[in-house]
Structure 1
Amino acid sequence: MLLRENIYDQLRSDILACRLAPGDEMREQELAELYEVSRQPVRDALLRLQREHLVTVQPRQGYRVTPISLSDARDLLRFRLALEPACVAEAIERAPDSVLKSLDEFRRFAGNHEDFIAYNRGFHTALAHASGNRRMATALCDLIGQADRLVRVSVSNLKGHDPAKLVAEHVALIDAMQSRETRTAARIIKAHIGATEKRVLPALRRNAVIVEERSS
């Protein structure tokens, strides 16, 4: 049996990992039975997820996992483009050498697509926390988690997905950060996120669960 807070965490994790896919319908009673709790904590969790735009309420029908719109995906990546370079700059300015040295664990990767998603999330989360700014780190980690859903939805259609190239970009950023080269690091992280947008958005357009624009 899950506690109230754990239900929110579990539902959110299932949505971001696409175990509950964009467009899937959900009902309170079914979720309560699945998680072995009453309907109230499930309802509370769903309302929190609605505020995060991960769940949509369907009057008299229940809920569904919010489909990914191209505009929302673009907004998410552009917000990340504004925030992540700021975290990198803060890390270069404020983080002790030991924190920057700990990024060395991300210099290598081996595994499949799912392993890469976990590796990639770990790397960018580490950058967020290296900033030492808890507010920025919290906001960036939320963006990184939601970006996982974009990658999972698009990965089967993603052309040119080369983990070795992406890891090389990470290594170049680690080198620049450990050398405290702020301008070089800023250029690398901005190019890295820009390349992500150029890879992911076209792939999302080819996926049937994507809606073209948000409803107004």
Structure 2
Amino acid sequence: MVIADTPEIKRSLSLVAYDEIKTMILNLHLKPGASITEMWLIERLQMSRTPIREALYRLQQEHFVELAPRKGWFVSEIKLNDIKELYVIREALEGISARHAAERISDEELLKMERYLDSLQVLLEQDEESVDDPGDSIHSLIFRFSGNDLINEVMCIHLERLQMFHLITSSLPGRKYQSWVEHREIFFALKARDGERAESVMRQHIRSSLESLLQSLIENKIDYQKAISQSRPAQLK
């Protein structure tokens, strides 16, 4: 049964619909280019047409969906140029964060990071798919010790799209192990309190991640169904 509408309920249901649809897009349950019908959303979300439509128009403004004349709604395609521009921002800001974190991160946190990375090596070699990307917690830790709230605010603006790219890239065979190798280099630079080196290896890591993502998209090797089945709450890789 579809929930009844009042002005107050419409506003709240519109937000719920917005969050639900965007989550499906970010988690690749609705993959780029997929058609979305209002009737399908009405049945899935158990809402009337009005909040569904309001949510879709809001998502259209944020470039998550597109409305094609006489064809209907579609999930926005991933545009290579948009990815490249976003990763330019990411490389610069995360590089700066790593440089600053090398001066501020505590010895206790470095010890935890070292133990965590050491614990993953055998697991990644035995069953890569069952292991979370090793960079998830490390990037958050670096941001926490960067001492720059403005960088965190800027990154949060782009975080949702980065989450989707993270999910795609993490599903690529061998990428998690490669990420572990790259994050060990970041750790060694942090442990040495070498800010210049920390920034350099972080930038290399971001470029490596971008290259893997672009190559897979260009060659059309992304297995969306595999990415969906492995989906977890996404964080920066």
Whether 2:198 is the aligned partner of 1:188: answer no
- Could you tell me how far apart the structure 1 residues matched to 2:81 and 2:205 are? 20
Q: Deviations over 1:44-78 (max 9, x none)?
A: 43333323322112235432111112212222222
- Could you tell me how far apart the structure 2 residues matched to 1:6 and 1:138 are? 24
Hey, what does 2:186 align to over in structure 1?
173
- Could you tell me how far apart the structure 1 residues matched to 2:145 and 2:51 are? 34
1:96-111 correspondence runs (5 A): 103-104=113-114, 106-107=116-117, 108-109=119-120, 110=123
Hey, what does 2:99 align to over in structure 1?
89
**Aligned to 2:146, which of 106, 124, 131?**
131
Report if aligned partners of 1:7, 1:41 keep a CA contact under 8 Å in 2: yes
Hey, what does 2:212 align to over in structure 1?
199
- Could you tell me how far apart the structure 2 residues matched to 1:62 and 1:130 are? 46
Whether 2:59 is the aligned partner of 1:49: answer yes
**Alignment CA distance shift 1:70-1:143 (3 Å):** same
What is the Cα deviation at residue 14 of structure 1? 1.6
Q: Deviations over 1:111-145 (max 9, x none)?
A: 5447445x544443443344354442243245454
Structure 1 residue runs without a partner (length 5+): 210-216
Query: Which amino acid counterpart does residue 199 of structure 1 have in structure 2?
Result: S
Secondary structure of 1:187's counterpart equals helix
Query: Which amino acid counterpart does residue 219 of structure 2 have in structure 1?
Result: R
Q: Deviations over 1:19-50 (max 9, x none)?
A: 11010111233213212233343334333332
What is the Cα deviation at residue 8 of structure 1? 2.9
Secondary structure of 2:31's counterpart equals coil
Hey, what does 1:213 align to over in structure 2?
none
For these two proteins, the number of residue pairs brought into alignment is 206
What is the Cα deviation at residue 197 of structure 1? 2.2
Report if aligned partners of 2:102, 2:195 keep a CA contact under 8 Å in 1: yes
Query: Which amino acid counterpart does residue 137 of structure 1 have in structure 2?
Result: N
- Could you tell me how far apart the structure 2 residues matched to 1:167 and 1:135 are? 28
Secondary structure of 1:207's counterpart equals coil
Query: Which amino acid counterpart does residue 205 of structure 2 have in structure 1?
Result: H
Structure 2 residue runs without a partner (length 5+): 4-11, 223-237
Report if aligned partners of 1:88, 1:127 keep a CA contact under 8 Å in 2: yes
Q: TM-score, normalised by structure 2?
A: 0.68
What is the Cα deviation at residue 185 of structure 1? 0.4
Q: TM-score, normalised by structure 1?
A: 0.74
Quote the sequence identity (%): 28
- Could you tell me how far apart the structure 2 residues matched to 1:132 and 1:188 are? 19
What is the Cα deviation at residue 170 of structure 1? 1.0
**Alignment CA distance shift 1:93-1:153 (3 Å):** closer
Secondary structure of 2:82's counterpart equals helix
Hey, what does 1:214 align to over in structure 2?
none
**Alignment CA distance shift 1:4-1:128 (3 Å):** farther
1:24-63 correspondence runs (5 A): 24-63=34-73
Report if aligned partners of 1:91, 1:127 keep a CA contact under 8 Å in 2: yes
**Alignment CA distance shift 1:56-1:123 (3 Å):** farther
Report if aligned partners of 2:169, 2:212 keep a CA contact under 8 Å in 1: no
Secondary structure of 1:174's counterpart equals helix
Hey, what does 1:212 align to over in structure 2?
none
